[in-house]
Amino acid sequence: MKKSKIILLVIGIVVVIGLLMSTFIVKESKQAIVTQFGKPVGKPRIEPGLYFKVPFVQKVQFFDKRYLKWNGDPNQVTTKDKKYIFVDTYARWQITDPLRFFIRLRDQRSAQSRLDDILDGETRNAVASFNLLDLIRSTNRDPVVSEDYLQELDELDEISVGRARIEDMILEKANERTSDLGIKILDIRFKRMNYVDEVRDRVYDRMISERKRIADQFRSEGQGEASKIKGNKERDLAKIQSEAFEQAEIIKGKADAQATSIYASAYDRNASSRQFYSFLRGMEALEKSFDEKTNLVITTDSDLYKYLKEAN
């Protein structure tokens, strides 16, 4: 009795293992093919779900159904107008026919290597077929000038194709070469473009020289404007001083005339007034002419002697 139970248990385990090994699940992000002794059997399993296979004999190969990325290596390429640049690209691709993909490429590592050859080659051909302006610009447009010193840049050279169209051309030719590989390249873009080191240094030197020229122009214009402002200041200052001196002299002349008139009118009023003003004038002259150490010699008929005598 116990022996029969053990046999049934073993048979059950074998059946379960057989069922597990004869089924496989395809997820939403995957697609699969079944191989027997290394060769594909049947159609690809593209839709998600549960599928069956012969255990121990058949194996399942899974492939990604999602968009995959490809990053190119920066390469030095010469443009049509003999400009040496580094070009760095990237692309997205997808496995559209897993059966053909398995037959031709086997796995994604081989696919990446094949894409390196195809996309790098087509990129080199495209870059070498067009001028640098076509590779870095997409449209013909008028430059937007935000600074007065750049007004001389009133137009840009026209392009014949443009960057976006060149990318489309690379994509089209690359898909022609991958059509029998079971993959499709969805898009390809230039990630970065730059001059090689030697050319970039010359470009930087030219940019520095141009900025120095602009700086010298600004400095020269500033010095000229400063000289103009300084000249106007000195002219205005001289004019103000001249007008002020003239006005002061006019005021002083009017004051002297008014003082003389007052002296004259006071002198002409009467004898006592004349005598008083004569005395004041004499005292003012005396005060301004002498100090404590002055010795004075005067005659008896002078006005000053007369005033001194009357004071005694």
User: What angle do the packed helices 163-178 and 108-129 form, to 10 degrees?
Assistant: 140
Q: What is residue 277's predicted lDDT score, i.e. its pLDDT?
A: 66
Tell which residue, 19, 20, 18, 23, has the closest CA to residue 34: 23
Please report the domains of the chain, with CATH numbers, ordered by start residue.
2-63 (no CATH), 68-140+155-195 (3.30.479.30), 277-312 (no CATH)
Q: What is the pLDDT of residues 71-121, one digit of tens each?
A: 988 888 888 888 888 899 999 999 999 999 999 998 889 999 999 999 999
Tell which residue, 84, 95, 92, 89, has the closest CA to residue 120: 89
Kindly state the average pLDDT of the residues 205-234: 85
Kindly state the average pLDDT of the residues 171-195: 91
Residue 153 reports pLDDT greater than 60:
no
Q: What is residue 273's predicted lDDT score, i.e. its pLDDT?
A: 61
Q: What is residue 274's predicted lDDT score, i.e. its pLDDT?
A: 61
Q: How confident is the model at residue 42 (pLDDT cuts 50, 70, 90)?
A: confident
Q: What is residue 299's predicted lDDT score, i.e. its pLDDT?
A: 74
Residue 149 reports pLDDT greater than 60:
no
Bridge partners (DSSP) listed for residue 24:
51
Q: What is residue 31's predicted lDDT score, i.e. its pLDDT?
A: 93
What six digits make up the tokens of 23? 């089924």
Residue 151 reports pLDDT greater than 60:
no
Kindly state the average pLDDT of the residues 203-216: 81
Rounded CA-CA distance 24/77 in Å is 48
Q: What is the pLDDT of residues 243-257, one digit of tens each?
A: 888 888 888 888 877
- Which range is least confidently modeled, 127-136, 143-152, 193-202, 286-295? 143-152
Q: What is residue 62's predicted lDDT score, i.e. its pLDDT?
A: 92
Rounded CA-CA distance 183/170 in Å is 16
Query: For the CA atoms of the chain, what is the radius of gyration?
Result: 54
The percent of residues in the chain predicted with pLDDT above 90, rounded, is 27
- The continuous run of DSSP H or E covering 5 comes out as helix 2-21
> Measured in whole angstroms, how far is the alpha carbon of residue 21 from the centre of its chain?
62
Higher pLDDT, 54 or 277: 54
Residue 150 reports pLDDT greater than 60:
no
**Is the backbone of residue 139 left (phi > 0), alpha (psi -120 to 50) or beta?**
beta
What six digits make up the tokens of 128? 């070498």
On average, the pLDDT of the chain sits at: 81
User: What angle do the packed helices 303-311 and 271-289 form, to 10 degrees?
Assistant: 100
Q: How confident is the model at residue 286 (pLDDT cuts 50, 70, 90)?
A: low
Kindly state the average pLDDT of the residues 147-162: 65
Higher pLDDT, 304 or 78: 78
Q: How confident is the model at residue 185 (pLDDT cuts 50, 70, 90)?
A: very high
- Non-local (6+) Cβ contacts of 14 within 8 A are none
Higher pLDDT, 264 or 240: 240
Residue 186 reports pLDDT greater than 90:
yes
